[in-house]
Structure 1
């Protein structure tokens, strides 16, 4: 998921002399890893409350709220991927991307990230970092890693010139982790029989 993208014709500032972009990116990755581990540590040592702090209007339970917000974030993230590919000429579309697409790309990324925050908060505060079966262990891992990858990507996006592969790789990893977290929770929830949908 991206919240900002340089225009294809935009020239980024030169990196500081003596500090290759790959090493700077490695430093950002370490910061992202610390964020992911810190979230996982908090979720593991915190005693889960088992109840929501607050439910958004229209939802009767914690799980449906998280499932729908997670789904909204994934839909917006798909738009992020498609719009980035279009802006960088990686889609089999002859028409040039409209100028407004850059703004839509930024806003969709910001809204997608905000949609994940109540989900993550309740996962950590209400339920904790769970490992009692494979699905919940993967979900906990993907969720924490997502915020670490988001941190890395946002730092790289705002930094001096990174290697050409940095943003596509970090954006792809971010998208994959979000989809993994969604598939092991929201998708799983929607495929169960007799569950409330709101």
Structure 2
């Protein structure tokens, strides 16, 4: 009987831990949103010594590199889970490469995000800027979700591709609403 009682006390603890883990990505996204809305933007803020249009150009280039890494991540993920047509089984070295490229992508995103949120905050001056701002907050919540999903063995099989797919879509949307917009001359700057 004591073994049965122990299992009952562990289940609520697991549910609470699962609930808190599910809330963490939301808390990150909402926290970034709250900071971005309440922070006083510093439009003169630079990045790696660049200011004005130079910083926008640098962020567009870094964002494009991030987009390329996200596409590589997508292809490696599809290969690892045998969803890449004609590729066969992925060699063992693909798994650590996927992790390393994911880490590099995350690290590459940090200076871009830091400059964006400190220089501009979360802004709704146009629909493009609003989508970019909200997606930036969601991106880091999705990153936290992906890390939690990768570490969990109890989640359904669709959870990992959903988290990874959300990350790729968020990066693509960020790139589309910023870097591509800048490179095509559709925006005077942001």
TM superposition score category, shorter chain reference = 0.7 to 0.9
Which blocks of at least 5 consecutive residues in structure 2 are unaligned?
1-8
Distance change (3 Å), C-alpha of 1:94 and 1:143: closer
TM-score normalised according to structure 1 size: 0.80
Residues 53-98 of structure 1 deviation map (CA, whole Å, 9 limit, x = unaligned): 43268x9721111111111111001111111111111111254322
In the other structure, the counterpart of 1:132 is 125
Aligned alpha-carbon RMSD (Å): 2.7
Aligned to 2:178: 185
**2-side partners of 1:60 and 1:175: how far apart?**
27
Q: 2:162 aligns with which of 169, 174, 193?
A: 169
1:1-198 correspondence runs (5 A): 18=11, 27-55=20-48, 61-192=54-185
Structure with greater helix share of residues = 2
User: Whose radius of gyration is greater, 1 or 2?
Assistant: 2
- Give the whole-Å Cα distance in 2 for the aligned partners of 1:98 and 1:117: 30
Verify the 8 A CA contact 2:181 2:187 in the aligned structure 1: no
Normalization by structure 2: what TM-score?
0.84
Gaps of 5+ in 1: 1-15
8 Å CA contact retained: 1:69, 1:119: yes
1:5 is matched with none
> CA offsets per residue over residues 99-144 of structure 1, 9 Å max, x none?
2211211111111111110111011111111101100000000000
- Could you say which structure has the greater relative contact order, defined with CA pairs below 8 angstroms and 6 or more residues apart? 1
